[in-house]
Amino acid sequence: MKFGYSDTCLDHETGVRHPESPDRLRAIRRGLADAHSVEYVEADPSERERIRAAHDGEYIDSIETFCDSGGGNWDADTVVSEGTWEAALASAGLAEWAAEAALSGSDGRQTPFSIGRPPGHHAEEDDAMGFCFFNNVAIAAQSVIDSGEADRVAIFDWDVHHGNGTQDIFYDQGNVFYASIHEDGLYPGTGDVEETGTGAGEGTTMNLPFAPGTTTAAYLAALSEVIGPAVEAFDPDLFLISAGFDPHEHDPISRMRVSTEGFGCLAAAVREIADDADAALGFVLEGGYGLDTLSDSVRKVHEVFDGYQPIEPDEPVSEGARDVIDAVKTEEFPGL
């Protein structure tokens, strides 16, 4: 894969014992060190005008001012250091690069994956939360729409947390489809099955809150039965993955049970959906807090794009997940 990476993303300092640390990116790069066909690209940071694609101007100013004054706690777990401003611009710029590279034809072994931090999917139009400041994937999606490079963008968020920010930013838009699988009951608490969009965006949001303990098989069933068909019907030019690795079975902050091999299966599944929809495909890093599980899982995704065929799990779809998938299918998206 082509990895978008910038050292500037290391300058966002969250302090000791914060799970969202610069070591996450160092671990990913160490994990990829001896892998075949890894290429690094350092993209330009986002320009303020591009951040405006998803955020309120006054909010952007207030983040800049907060960083300039040395930072501190924006909220209980969203920590700002002086370097956060530049890191957040770099992280958003990497996501923009991933979208543009995919749309310019970078695919197969060259599929783009932006490994920036801070992550983005909790960031709202006018607020930072959940370790996120600028909504990288939303900025990327809206930017390529604004520039005319894409008419429609689909986003699938497999981070264990619901991407409330991404959902909200596009909730009433008909040109961005957002689907999320997340752990029910976990932060931030949004993402019910009934949340499906409003106005022009009615039917362009899809949520699958799965119970703690859900395994890879349920993710694959959701992709093949509802997310894939919905993305194909939406007919996007670009399919972006908000790729968080915190649903890993050994991640320290979640109770989901996706295996390392399972992330390879998810990568193969989204690649197939992109191919079937004839859409460009790009990945944007969100969470993932076990350094080994994060680096092993990113490496597994990379290997799938390098020709490795992941082994599908030999396990049943749990009853709870089956009920959620069926509810989405029969009650919220009966047309699929």
Instruction: Give the binding site for Zn ion (CB under 5 A).
Output: 159-161, 244, 246, 287
* 122 labelled catalytic: yes
- Is the Cβ–Cβ distance between 270 and 223 less than 8 Å? yes
Rounded to a whole number of angstroms, the CA Rg of the chain reads 18
Cβ partners under 8 Å of residue 216, min gap 6? 257, 258, 259, 261, 262, 265, 266, 313, 315
> For strand 205-210 and strand 72-75, is the pairing parallel, antiparallel, or unpaired?
unpaired
Residue 242 C-beta: closest distance to Zn ion, Å? 9
Instruction: Give the residue from 212, 161, 208 showing the smallest Cα distance to 326.
Output: 208
Question: Which C-beta is closer to Zn ion: that of 116 or that of 287?
Answer: 287
By Cβ distance, which residue is nearest to Zn ion?
287
Residue 135 C-beta: closest distance to ligand OKP, Å? 12
Question: Which C-beta is closer to ligand OKP: that of 130 or that of 191?
Answer: 130
Question: Which C-beta is closer to Zn ion: that of 77 or that of 312?
Answer: 77
| Contact of residue 162 among ligand OKP, Zn ion, none (CB under 5-8 Å per partner type) | none
> Does residue 118 have a cis bond before it (omega within 30 degrees)?
yes
Residue range at the interface with ligand OKP (CB under 6 A); choices 57-65, 79-87, 105-113, 117-125: 117-125
Quick one: which of 12, 161, 257, 302 contacts ligand OKP (CB under 6 A)? 161
* AA identity, residue 126: D
Residue 180 C-beta: closest distance to Zn ion, Å? 11
Distance of CA 155 to CAs 124, 175, 188, 191, 280, Å?
A: 16, 11, 19, 14, 12
Question: Which C-beta is closer to Zn ion: that of 118 or that of 287?
Answer: 287
Choosing from 122, 182, 248, 302, which is the catalytic residue?
A: 122
- Is the Cβ–Cβ distance between 109 and 126 less than 8 Å? no
Does position 286 interact with ligand OKP (CB under 6 A)? The reply is yes
**How many Cβ atoms are within 10 Å of 30's Cβ, its own excluded?**
13
Q: Cα separation of 33 and 42, whole Å? A: 17
- Is the Cβ–Cβ distance between 28 and 295 less than 8 Å? yes
Residue 119 C-beta: closest distance to Zn ion, Å? 7
| Contact of residue 119 among ligand OKP, Zn ion, none (CB under 5-8 Å per partner type) | ligand OKP
| Contact of residue 131 among Zn ion, ligand OKP, none (CB under 5-8 Å per partner type) | ligand OKP
Interface of this chain with ligand OKP, residues 181 to 220, rule: CB under 6 A: 187
Strands in 116-250 per DSSP E: 153-157, 176-183, 205-210, 238-243
**In the stretch 76-95, what mask flags binding to ligand OKP with x, by CB under 6 A?**
-x------------------
Written as six digits, the tokens of 36 are 């075949």
Question: Which C-beta is closer to ligand OKP: that of 287 or that of 290?
Answer: 287
What's the full length of the chain, in residues?
336
| Contact of residue 96 among ligand OKP, Zn ion, none (CB under 5-8 Å per partner type) | none
| Contact of residue 130 among ligand OKP, Zn ion, none (CB under 5-8 Å per partner type) | ligand OKP
List residues with catalytic annotation: 122
Residues interacting with ligand OKP, by CB under 6 A?
77, 119, 121-122, 130-131, 159, 161, 187, 244, 246, 286-287
